[in-house]
Amino acid sequence: MQQMSIPVMIISMLLFFVLFFGIGFILNMLLRMTWLMAILYPIIAILIIDDVRFIDYFTDTGNAFHKLGVKLTALHPSDIIILISGLIGAIVAGITMKTLRKKGYRMF
């Protein structure tokens, strides 16, 4: 098992933050649903972490959630930090949109 270097971790955190901030910002502008990306992020994170098909969560629930639990417990702290930075990006996008709307900016 190879350790993740500090520069790689910082760049990964920045990329996840910017990626989910950008996606959240665009979704907020187009759909006018401020917290949509923050709500969808856990589902996206599960899809990133787990290799079980999404439909299996409905058809083979017990086995799918067992595999998800195994994958979640096997995550390294650096992986958790990177995923949390993506969630923070999605939340900051919602806060930014709320602030912009409160100051009178109208998007689409």
Question: How do residues 15-67 score in pLDDT, each as one tens digit?
Answer: 999 999 999 999 988 888 888 899 999 999 998 999 899 899 999 999 999 99
SS (H, E, C) the chain: CCCCCHHHHHHHHHHHHHHHHHHHHHHHHHHCCCCHHHHHHHHHHHHHHCCCCCCHHHHCHHHHHHHHHHHHHCCCHHHHHHHHHHHHHHHHHHHHHHHHHHCCCCCC
The predicted structure's pLDDT at residue 1: 56
Judge contact between 107 and 93, C-beta under 8 A: no
pTM, entire model: 0.87
The residues spanned by each domain of the chain are: 32-108
- Dig out the tokens for 26 from the structure: 């665009």
Q: Give DSSP secondary structure letters for 85-97.
A: HHHHHHHHHHHHH
